[in-house]
Structure 1
Amino acid sequence: MSKKRAVDPEVAARMAHVTEEILSRSPENVVEPTLDRVAQVMDLLGQPQHTFGLVHITGTNGKTSTTRMVERLLRELGLTTGRFTSPHLHDLRERIAIGGEPIDEERFLAAYDDVLPYVQMVDEASLAAGGPRITYFELLVIVAYAVFSDAPVDVAVVEVGLGGVWDATNVADGQVAVVAPVAIDHTRLLGDNIIDIATEKAGIIKSDAIAVLGVQEDEVMQLLLERCDEVGAAAQVEGLAYGVLEREVAVGGQLVSLRGLAGDYTDVFLPLFGAHQVHNAAMAVAAVEAFVGGGEQPLDADVVRAAFADVTSPGRLEIVRRSPTVIVDAAHNPAGVAAMADAIRESFTFHRLVGVVAVLQEKDASSMLEVLEPLLDHIVVSRSTSPRSIRPERLGEMAVELFGEDRVTVVPNLPDALDLAAGLADEGGVSGAVLATGSITTVADVRMLLGADQRGDRPS
């Protein structure tokens, strides 16, 4: 990644002001189930979302990592790429990248200024009809699609924000739709059973697209295949059309062999931990083969190796400090925590592992703690900077029921919690470590406290 550049103070001040304006809108966890507002702005802007190719990615866990892998592969092939992910760790601009780099302040502000008059027109009409303003997330999608069209990019790799059918990103039609594993999450918004959730996510599969389907529960896979039949999309199922051939733990990651839709790719180094990341890599290869050759032409194996060797996924089993080792992971639902726990057991040998855990109110904290209990020697319960964090005292009560009083400490202040956890980990000697997890905001806060790269990517 390029070195950090100096930013004009006036530009920085304007960026801070615009960020506040955007954040003042309804947050991304408060959604209105309609695409009408975003579609109206797109119409006024001349349909920028249809001016570039699109790989659209949904699922419950693994979306961001898969998005980053797909984008990195496409970039290694020489294509000009856009990337949209959410949520961000430290800065709104992380969500919108061109050529692998978050867009700079000037480019963000220029796009914001371009779209704002049209956003305000739709806001006024919506408010007059008794509806809401365009939300925080919707506005960022509008800015992203405007940026990608203006660049212009050859292809945008877009992660949905929530669900699929009504997600703001779905005003665009993906030539390739990727559905990562579906699990229970966001029940208040998507439904309290896996079929309702999968039905929402299936909405990104469009007519004549190629659907790359990751490993799913049988009932979810059946629903996805029915959606493909309904809209005339070609289904490519992991384990049948593509998949993982071999994987072994290696220093700093894994050595894997993958089967794509059109070719096999052996001896690929992936600098990420866990079986789930290898499945993400297999989906990424299949998605790129589908996009560039309809799934009928293999990629250059050296291109695949070069791209994956350079893949990063900040906040996903990321080591942000040594002595003691501090790992952050953005797992925020039971399935994500289970995948993280398996990866830690497989990839690390810690004599003592201390958790720093803060969870958001709408999450299944009890089930997450249940999965963490066999993994952690001690848990320090705290809260992140998110106003949606569960009160540490309440989370502590839940933890005591599972861990017992002797293995639980409640520290409401996160910096103090991190310090205490580091001290407890040091009791394990050189093989002691800290795991900070429970939410994206927990990870962002810990990364910031420890001075990790604030752009959410590999340090310069």
Structure 2
Amino acid sequence: MTQGSDVILSRLMSLHPKVIDLVLDRVHHLLAALGHPERRIPPVIHVAGTNGKGSTVAMLRAGLEGAGEVVHIYTSPHLARFHERIRVAGDLIAEDDLARLLEECERANGEAPITFFEITTCAAFLAFSRVPADWTLLEVGLGGRLDATNVIDPALTIITPVSMDHEAFLGNTIEAIAGEKAGIIKPGTPCIVGPQEERALEVIEYRAARMGAPLQVHGQHWHVTEENGRLVFEDEGGLMDLPLPRLIGAHQAQNAGMVIAALRALKRPGAADAAMTRAVWPARMQRLKTGPLVQAAGRAELWLDGGHNPAAGLALAEVLDRLPPKPLHLICGMLNTKDATGYMTPLARHAASFQGVSIPGEANTLSAADTVAAAARAGIAATTADSVASAIATITATDPDARILICGSLYLAGSILRENG
């Protein structure tokens, strides 16, 4: 009898002593044992980068599905449930199907060590190989060159903006990190490149030249601007006048530009309108409207954002600049692997108050006290809170019409979405 996926997923966590171990040998071995499902999936659009991957995938999905095409999607991490990582023909993978696929991968792997992300990526490939679709949207988990997803022959690759993050695994310079991201570029395969620092772009261009991969680079081959409440995209094919992205934030215009460039490269420019107007991506400056936390907040606005590195902090600050003026109260929890002060510094000018929390159930959480210390280094006066709920109560006791932003981590965002139903 097949066990539930939660039981199997818990067991798979123990198959390797490390959570992250960037090599591809184990993935190649398991995929061979499974009969190479990665060779039988629909054409792949492979997305790497530091910031904007998820939003880019969400807009691509919205555009292609709006044009009537069927799409498989693989993203990570999940927010509330693991099933969010795998969408088969547009729908969240069914519990019974996921459990059977995981057990099949577990049997094929035998006693060999393999990381959780590696074996679950193989399960996603297996799922995608068995259901017809027009496209597969594949988001890199970490880096690119040695990421478990980098075993496919894509139809198109996309590199979103590269910045400092995951230095322990990818290197401590922007050039090193860009080199890892550029590892998804394949011989002769077109690559869409989002806005980059010059040092990162040079690395990406070098890799593309070696691979004979044609590039479409922001600022060189395509441009995107906001004009009079519209999004204007221009490349050698001409101008496109589109609605602004549904996803909130000035940075989403750049993500939208990558999506439009990709759709034009795929000969599907007619999908661009739906990409702008139909995309949904939780925990990216998401206004919470229902649930226990919203009820507890009363008249206060409650927002949620999962950004977690300095570039995400800067993008978030720019989003806040555009909201109607109102005192902002931050509730922040972060992982101890992140540059917390770098993330918080752009937010300092917006913070009417700041409460640090630890992330429930997360071994690598930064403690509430350490979060407060990082805020102090960013110039923010802060206090600790026992929980998000208690932080909300503290804020609304003195400012019942407050604007409250819960931020700092996708893991915290996932905890909130589970708690809030």
User: By the TM > 0.5 criterion, same fold?
Assistant: yes
Does residue 144 in structure 1 map to residue 124 in structure 2?
yes
Does residue 380 in structure 1 map to residue 360 in structure 2?
no
Unaligned runs of at least 5 residues, structure 2: none
Does residue 318 in structure 1 map to residue 286 in structure 2?
yes
1:209-288 to 2 correspondences below 5 Å: 209-247=189-227, 255-259=230-234, 262-288=237-263
Change (3 A) 1:206 1:435: same
Does residue 97 in structure 1 map to residue 69 in structure 2?
no
Deviations 1:69-95 (A, max 9, x none): 112222223322111110000111100
1:346-361 to 2 correspondences below 5 Å: 346=322, 348-361=323-336
2:32 maps to which residue? 43
- Deviation, 1:25, is 4.3
Does residue 81 in structure 1 map to residue 51 in structure 2?
no
Q: Percent identity?
A: 28
Deviates more, 1:260-269 or 1:59-68: 260-269
Please tell me the residue identity of whatever aligns with 1:206. Answer: K
- Deviation, 1:50, is 1.9
- Deviation, 1:399, is 2.3
Change (3 A) 1:84 1:397: same
2:412 maps to which residue? 442
- Deviation, 1:309, is 1.3
Match of 2:99 among 83, 87, 109: 109
Could you say what the CA RMSD is over the residues aligned between the two structures, in angstroms? 2.1
Q: Is the 8 A contact 2:52 2:160 kept in 1?
A: yes
Q: Distance in 2 between matches of 1:197 and 1:90?
A: 29
2:315 maps to which residue? 339
Q: Helix, strand or coil for the counterpart of 1:233?
A: coil
Q: Distance in 2 between matches of 1:17 and 1:113?
A: 11
- Deviation, 1:181, is 0.4
Q: Helix, strand or coil for the counterpart of 2:351?
A: coil
1:197 maps to which residue? 177
- Deviation, 1:99, is 3.1
Deviates more, 1:441-450 or 1:331-340: 441-450
Change (3 A) 1:397 1:115: closer
Change (3 A) 1:419 1:15: farther
**TM-score for the superposition, normalised by structure 1:** 0.84
Deviations 1:73-129 (A, max 9, x none): 222233221111100001111001123321111221222233222122xx43xxxxx
Q: Helix, strand or coil for the counterpart of 1:56?
A: strand
Q: Distance in 1 between matches of 2:235 and 2:127?
A: 31
Match of 1:119 among 103, 109, 113: 109
**TM-score for the superposition, normalised by structure 2:** 0.92
Does residue 395 in structure 1 map to residue 363 in structure 2?
no
- Deviation, 1:369, is 2.2
- Deviation, 1:58, is 0.5
Q: Helix, strand or coil for the counterpart of 2:282?
A: coil
Change (3 A) 1:76 1:68: same
Q: Distance in 1 between matches of 2:59 and 2:86?
A: 15
Change (3 A) 1:422 1:231: farther
Please tell me the residue identity of whatever aligns with 1:166. Answer: L
Q: Distance in 2 between matches of 1:398 and 1:316?
A: 22
- Deviation, 1:402, is 4.0
Q: Distance in 1 between matches of 2:126 and 2:319?
A: 38
Q: Distance in 1 between matches of 2:100 and 2:240?
A: 41
